[in-house]
Homo-oligomer: A and B are copies of this chain.
């Protein structure tokens, strides 16, 4: 097995790309894929400042590292979600990554700064934990980017993530979600631009990237996400990919090339767009209601007895 670039011994085979690489040229391949995604989808201009949404997992640390390698001004932002040891450990990985490299990492804690945590929010709202978690992350990343004057928020969504979300949306032909599933969401209505620079790289590549670059990250999946639909969609696509390498790439990127505009045109045709939003009376964030969904969550969870993961696991039995 020889490196496609230098013909030296390869350490990784990428079936979807029909290529093998040595460590050095695999890293170059990853940088090139990110640079291509950024250029093709006009994610960032060279002088723009970007805030990376960091979890402490392989994808968010890799995208931060890759953006820096490509010369962008990238700071990090990590949220303490209060999911027991999982959150503490993953936040520590983010801190260590930043400290060793002398990077700026902003931090907030749901419990300390906003009075709740994800397990408690899930119990109070009686919804899946991913719901309150996603809402909180979107809100806090957006606000941090605007307050810090960043041009964009970068997330570590990789090809496997995006293909799984696309599969879920296509399974229900949720045309509104299909219309919005893009690698770049332009700044709009007071929200910052959102970009996904890893859409040309999969989970396996990101894990290999971190190992080769010596980036320590939390390997465990979030304990509250176990068994969710997103993971099932990934498994289904992995089975297809194993038999037909490149299927995931084609599924997501052909969607962008051939189908996404059809859904966008349809949604734009039936809905005149959201127009300018008002501001949340409490936090000032853009919102179509008087109080934004995050501030409502803060209100609903205020005073609730904190649910630790241990108690929650017991209650489920």
Provide the bound-state CA to CA distance between A268 and B165, in Å.
Answer: 29
Q: Which residues of B contact A254 (CB under 8 A)?
A: 172-173
> Is the beta-carbon distance between B240 and A172 smaller than 8 angstroms?
no
Q: Report the minimal beta-carbon distance from A106 to chain B, rounded to whole angstroms.
A: 38
Q: Which residues of B contact A259 (CB under 8 A)?
A: 173, 175, 263
Taken together, the copies of this chain in the complex come to 2
> Is the beta-carbon distance between B236 and A239 smaller than 8 angstroms?
yes
Q: Which residues of B contact A255 (CB under 8 A)?
A: 173
Provide the bound-state CA to CA distance between A172 and B54, in Å.
Answer: 32
Provide the bound-state CA to CA distance between A70 and B77, in Å.
Answer: 64
Q: Which residues of B contact A247 (CB under 8 A)?
A: 171
With A262-B263, A266-B262 known as contacts, the answer to whether A172 contacts B232 (CB < 8 A) is no
Q: Chain A, 151-182, contact with B by CB distance < 8 Å: what is the 0/1 string?
A: 00000000000000000001111010000000
With A262-B262, A266-B262 known as contacts, the answer to whether A240 contacts B173 (CB < 8 A) is no
> Is the beta-carbon distance between A171 and B251 smaller than 8 angstroms?
yes
Provide the bound-state CA to CA distance between A247 and B167, in Å.
Answer: 12
Instruction: Report if A69 contacts B (CB, 8 A).
Output: no
Residue of B nearest to A244 (CB): B229
Instruction: Report if A258 contacts B (CB, 8 A).
Output: yes
Name A residues whose Cβ lies closer than 8 Å to a Cβ of B: 170-173, 175, 229, 232-233, 235-237, 239-240, 243-244, 247, 250-251, 254-255, 257-259, 262-263, 265-266
Besides the known contacts A233-B240, A236-B236, A236-B239, 6 further A-B residue pairs in the complex with CB atoms under 8 A apart: A172-B251, A173-B250, A173-B259, A175-B258, A236-B240, A262-B266
